[in-house]
Amino acid sequence: MPNPVPSAVSDVPPDVLPDATARTTPPPAAVRLRGLVRRHGEVRALDGVDLDVAAGTFTAVMGPSGSGKSTLLRCAAGLDRPDAGRVEVAGTALEGLGERRLTLLRRDRIGFVFQSFNLLPTLTAAQNVALPLRLAGRRPARGEVRAALARVGLAGRERHRPAELSGGQCQRVAVARALIARPAVLFADEPTGALDSTTGAEVMDLLRALVDEEGRTLVMVTHDPVAAARADRVVFLADGRLAGELAAPTAGAVAARLADLRPAGAGREGTGGAAC
């Protein structure tokens, strides 16, 4: 019987082989930012940021307080609109999208984890995780939510409400909820900021494993050099601009770079920082 599947490259007609250019072109970035500007009144929170994040990698964003980290993350995740520049997530440009299409893109392609978990207190862990699917009009497949909770180490906690869970467990629920729709990119804004160091380290173990074992793409803002050192790459912001990066970071190298970025005694704290 003829075999319709070519057994070797030499069996493939030349016109269907990728050309040399195609073979050397890197895969499209999961996140691509170009010339990003975001003003808050007089403050240029972002002042022309260019950044590419490769799929399947873990990037940490660091910088002094007020340097624009959260603004960068929110613009990249479609939660905030830049005043100028371009944001692409998984090959889709965000700037031309109307509110409805942006909402759909956020729902289907983007996961976001907040420092304060943002779980709904009246819902169980399972109901919180299922919420994005429910909002999309989808009934979760049998076992889907349970498997998502098991993946983050919360097997058996499906029926617990946030008040019955520790901070670390709440953040795990939030991670499971962010991943349930299988987003192209997971953004995390200070995901360990509300946790003690041991619990924070456990959440970092989970985030690292999601990249290593499942090929997830993660972009995380943090103030903690130890957390940032778990990333493949740390990019630094100062005054709304990129201020260098470190590959294969160590906590010591991250802390030293951060100290260089801080003017003696302060970052931009007190220069119009957001109200608390």
Ligand X SMILES: Nc1ncnc2c1ncn2[C@@H]1O[C@H](COP(=O)(O)OP(=O)(O)OP(=O)(O)O)[C@@H](O)[C@H]1O
Could you give the residue ranges of the DSSP H alpha helices within 25-109?
A: 69-76, 99-109
Q: Which helix (H) or strand (E) holds 34?
A: strand 31-40
**Alpha-carbon gap, residue 1 to 254, rounded angstroms:** 61
Assess 68 for contact with ligand X (CB under 6 A).
yes
Cβ partners under 8 Å of residue 93, min gap 6: 86, 87
Which one, 74 or 157, has the nearer CB to ligand X? 74
SS3 at position 45 = strand
Window of 7-15, 69-77, 129-137, 256-264 that interacts with ligand X by CB under 6 A: 69-77
Amino acid of residue 261: L
**Cβ atoms < 10 Å from Cβ of 225:** 21
Binds ligand X (CB under 6 A): choice among 29, 31, 32, 63: 63
Binds ligand X (CB under 6 A): choice among 69, 109, 151, 257: 69
Which one, 76 or 119, has the nearer CB to ligand X? 76
Applying the rule CB under 6 A, the residues between 241 and 270 that interact with ligand X are: 268
Which one, 42 or 213, has the nearer CB to ligand X? 42
CA atoms within 13 A on the CB side of 166: 12
Binds ligand X (CB under 6 A): choice among 31, 59, 60, 67: 67
Here's the x/- map for ligand X, 11-50, by CB under 6 A: it reads as -----------------------------xx-x-x-----
Which one, 104 or 274, has the nearer CB to ligand X? 274
Cβ partners under 8 Å of residue 99, min gap 6: none
Assess 235 for contact with ligand X (CB under 6 A).
no
Which one, 62 or 126, has the nearer CB to ligand X? 62
Applying the rule CB under 6 A, the residues between 189 and 208 that interact with ligand X are: none
Assess 106 for contact with ligand X (CB under 6 A).
no
Assess 273 for contact with ligand X (CB under 6 A).
yes
Here's the x/- map for ligand X, 124-153, by CB under 6 A: it reads as ------------------------------
**Cβ atoms < 10 Å from Cβ of 3:** 7
Q: What's the min distance (Å) between Cβ of 219 and ligand X?
A: 13
Assess 71 for contact with ligand X (CB under 6 A).
yes
Window of 59-67, 101-109, 197-205, 228-236 that interacts with ligand X by CB under 6 A: 59-67
Could you give the residue ranges of the DSSP H alpha helices within 116-238?
A: 125-135, 144-151, 167-179, 197-214, 225-228
**Alpha-carbon gap, residue 69 to 62, rounded angstroms:** 7
Tokens of 199: 């619990």
Tokens of 161: 């409400």
Q: What's the min distance (Å) between Cβ of 244 and ligand X?
A: 16
Q: What's the min distance (Å) between Cβ of 237 and ligand X?
A: 7
Q: Rounded to 5 degrees, what angle do the CA atoms 117, 123, 129 make?
A: 60
**Alpha-carbon gap, residue 157 to 146, rounded angstroms:** 9
Residues at the site binding ligand X, with contacts judged by CB under 6 A: 40-41, 43, 45, 63, 65-71, 268, 272-274
